[in-house]
């Protein structure tokens, strides 16, 4: 019993705080206090549940709408050759660059018709996944 308590205490310390979490349904009214992003309080009609929040939940990234004007890398790799310049008009499917990744010379093609605003990647550069390669002018 004593050991059990000890284990729980350790867990509580690691999580710092015990949070309250209510039933999540359409009827729920909730608020995330500005003071601490680690606190989540969800209450339904005055009813509250106490709970720990997981590390994964606390570290999650909020969803952001993707910007259609930005072409990002889908895989870690390196830029071999760039075919476009700022100001250039391109059609959907036109070759933007050769991007080497996983033993393959991948062709990055244009996702839309438009004008190139900026070429953000440089030839020879090694990039992670999600790196900005090319920016289009906003329509």
Partner 1 sequence: MSLLSKKITELQERTQHALQGGGDKAIAKQIAMGKLPARERIRKLLDEGTFYEYDLFIQHDAREFGMEKKDLAGDGVVIGTGKINGQPVAVYAQDFTVAGGSLGSMHARKITKIMDYALKLRIPLIGINDSGGARIQEGVNSLAGYGEIFFRNTLNSGVIPQISVILGPCAGGAVYSPALTDYVFVVDKISKMFITGPEVIKSVLGEEIDMESLGGARVHCETTGNAHFFAESEEECFAQIKNLLSYLPANNNAQPQEKKPGLPLKKYNIVKTVPADPTEPYDVRNVIKALVDDSEFLEIQELWAKNIVVGYGRIEGRTVGFIANQPLYLAGVLDCDSSDKAARFIRFCDAFNIPIVTLEDMPGYLPGVDQEHAGVIRHGAKLLYAYSEATVPKITVILRKAYGGGYIAMNSRHLRADFVFAWPTAEIAVMGPQGAANIIFRKEIMEAEDPEAMRKQKVAEYKEKFANPYVAASKGYIDSVINPADTRQFILQSLDVSQHKNAGMPKKKHGIPPF
Shortest separation between residue 22's beta carbon and partner 1, angstroms:
10
| Minimum distance of partner 1 from residue 130's CB (angstroms) | 9
Least distance to partner 1 from the beta carbon of 11, Å? 22
Could you list the residues that contact partner 1 (CB under 8 A)? 24-26, 28-30, 32, 42, 62-63, 65, 74-76, 100-107, 129
**In the complex, what is the shortest distance from the CB of residue 39 to partner 1, in angstroms, rounded to a whole number?**
13
Transcribe 76-98 into DSSP letters.
Answer: SEEEEEE---TT-EE-TT-EEEE
* Burial label, 121 (beta-carbon count in 10 A; 0-12, 13-18, 19+): buried
CB atoms within 10 A of CB 64: 6
CA distance 124 to 79: 5
Element (H, E) at 108: strand 104-109
* Residue with Cβ nearer partner 1 (73 or 90): 73
Which CB, 51 or 117, lies closer to partner 1?
51
Residue number, 21 or 117, with CB nearest to partner 1: 21
Distance (Å, rounded) from C-alpha 20 to C-alpha 102?
Answer: 46
C-beta closer to partner 1: residue 2 or 65: 65
């Amino acid at each position: 019993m004593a050991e059990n308590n000890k284990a729980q205490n350790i867990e509580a310390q690691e999580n710092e705080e015990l949070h309250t979490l209510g039933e999540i349904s359409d009827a729920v009214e909730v608020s995330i206090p500005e003071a601490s992003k680690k606190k989540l309080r969800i209450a339904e009609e005055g009813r509250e549940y106490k709970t720990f929040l997981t590390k994964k939940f606390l570290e999650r990234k909020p969803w952001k709408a993707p910007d259609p004007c930005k072409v990002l890398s889908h895989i870690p790799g390196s830029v071999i050759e760039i075919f476009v310049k700022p100001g250039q008009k391109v059609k959907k499917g036109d070759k933007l660059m050769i991007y080497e990744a996983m033993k393959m010379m991948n062709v990055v093609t244009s996702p839309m018709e438009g004008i190139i605003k900026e070429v953000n990647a440089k030839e020879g550069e090694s990039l992670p996944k999600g790196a900005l390669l090319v920016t289009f002018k906003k329509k």
